[in-house]
Amino acid sequence: MLSPPCRAARMRGHTLSEVMVASAIGLLVLSGVVHLYAELARESQRMRAEARLHQALSAAGALVTGELRRAGYWSRARDTLDGGAVNGYAPVHVVDGHCVLYSYDREKNSPDGRPREDDQFGLRLAGGALQLKTSDAGCGASTCASCDGGVWWAMTDPQTVTVTELSFREESRTLPLADGAAVSVRDIHVVLGGQLRRDPSIRHTVTALVNVRNDEIR
């Protein structure tokens, strides 16, 4: 005897309210994911911007320290030890704490230790940029005591990075020599700060202590 056919199981679908609740939960989860992605993207963009600023100011700081270490160089500076010559490249002038003027024997061929026009240099803050002086026709044969004249070049791009702070502070000590003369040993404290032009909230400051390697014999 054949058994009666099984009654097909009745299929039950989701109600409208269940679909709406599930959709709301899905939208909430999706909104959280989108918000998290946006936050991560913003943080990543900020980190890249900070890295660019750090790199730009670190490069500018390296330029400043490298220039100051060369200050006072004369290829025949040894001649000053016997009293027969004066190293006119030796003086370093910090002007108002925000500009420094110095010179060095660029071509390594000065016969008398007197700086020429193209041997005179400087560092200053102007127009939101770190500027380097490459010559000064108005200074004659001595280091210029003014930061207003000369040929200056921007070493940073003010359209990308705004330099907001540049300061110099000199410390020196005098040590006696055996022949009665004295040598002036000099250190210069440098502070260089800046911010991104497009986002001034991103800031960075570089500090350095630079020893002027070419001591001044007095």
- pLDDT at site 85: 79
Which residues are CB-contacts of 167 (< 8 A; sequence separation ≥ 6)? Answer: 97, 98, 189, 190, 191
118 or 59, which is more confident: 59
Concatenate the DSSP letters of all residues of 9-49 into one string: PPP----HHHHHHHHHHHHHHHHHHHHHHHHHHHHHHHHHH
Concatenate the DSSP letters of all residues of 91-140 into one string: --EEETTTEEEEE--TTS--SSS---GGGEEEEEEETTEEEEEEE-TTST
- pLDDT at site 182: 82
pLDDT tens track for 156-191: 999 999 999 999 999 999 888 777 778 889 999 999
pLDDT tens track for 55-90: 999 999 999 999 999 999 998 877 776 666 788 888
Q: What CA–CA distance (Å, rounded) separates 79 from 82?
A: 6
- pLDDT at site 137: 65
pLDDT above 70 for 10:
no
- Band (pLDDT 50/70/90 cuts) for residue 24 is confident
Which residues are CB-contacts of 203 (< 8 A; sequence separation ≥ 6)? Answer: 53, 164, 193, 194, 195, 196
- pLDDT at site 190: 97
- pLDDT at site 175: 86
- pLDDT at site 67: 96
Whole-number average pLDDT of the chain = 84
In angstroms, how far is the first alpha carbon of the chain from the final one? 129
